[in-house]
Amino acid sequence: MARVSDDLLLAAQSGDRHALTQLLVALQPNIRRYARRLCHRTSVIEDVVQEALIVIYRRVGTIRSPAALAGWLITVIARLCMLPALMLMRGVEELVSLEEARELAKVPPDELRMDLVNAIESLSPSHREVLLLRDLEDLTIGEIARRLGVTREAAKSRLRRARALVREYLLGTTDGGRERT
């Protein structure tokens, strides 16, 4: 990462708009390079770059030092690369009730992203695979079935179950509708 001068970062943190603009311009190539490396889908790279610039603009004051900037920026980009995983949650779009949608809307976006990652990691390998193939790689049910060597119905069933498990995890309930402890 190109080193950002202490003076430029401090000026941007103190509210100097010109310094903030210079900082954003200086960081953009690095952000794009990291996004290319960290994002699994090339179609989201430009969106990640724009979102990362917005995060820097809004949170520049939270950066401890120029030395911490690179690590912080990589974390931001990695999380933004996870955003398509949120979109993967077509299951979230198909929430059973408005009440469930309200519950998820209360969760801060960064926390929801981390919860989503944890929810996906908690899935069995077969459920995780079908979910990622469909919602990250945008494969059709037929393509997923062929890749996994299962019937279309089995692929649909696994996908439906994987989405239900993720939804349950995000809403903090188990199959019986009880709160997780």
Residue predicted with more confidence, 169 or 149: 149
What share of the chain has pLDDT > 70, as a percent?
Answer: 77
Start-to-end C-alpha separation, the chain: 42
pLDDT at 95 over 50: no
Model confidence pLDDT, tens digit, residues 119-140 = 888 999 999 999 888 877 778 8
On whether the CB atoms of residues 120 and 167 are closer than 8 A, the answer is no
* pLDDT given for residue 84 in this prediction: 57
Token look-up 């974390």 returns 75
Instruction: Give the number of other Cβ atoms within 10 Å of residue 171's Cβ.
Output: 20
Model confidence pLDDT, tens digit, residues 165-181 = 988 887 775 444 434 43
On whether the CB atoms of residues 172 and 104 are closer than 8 A, the answer is no
Collapsing DSSP to helix, strand or coil, 102 comes out as helix
Token look-up 């408005």 returns 98
Q: Indicate the pLDDT class of residue 100, thresholds 50, 70 and 90.
A: low
* pLDDT given for residue 82 in this prediction: 73
Residue predicted with more confidence, 178 or 3: 3
Backbone φ, ψ for residue 134 (5° rounding): -75, -50
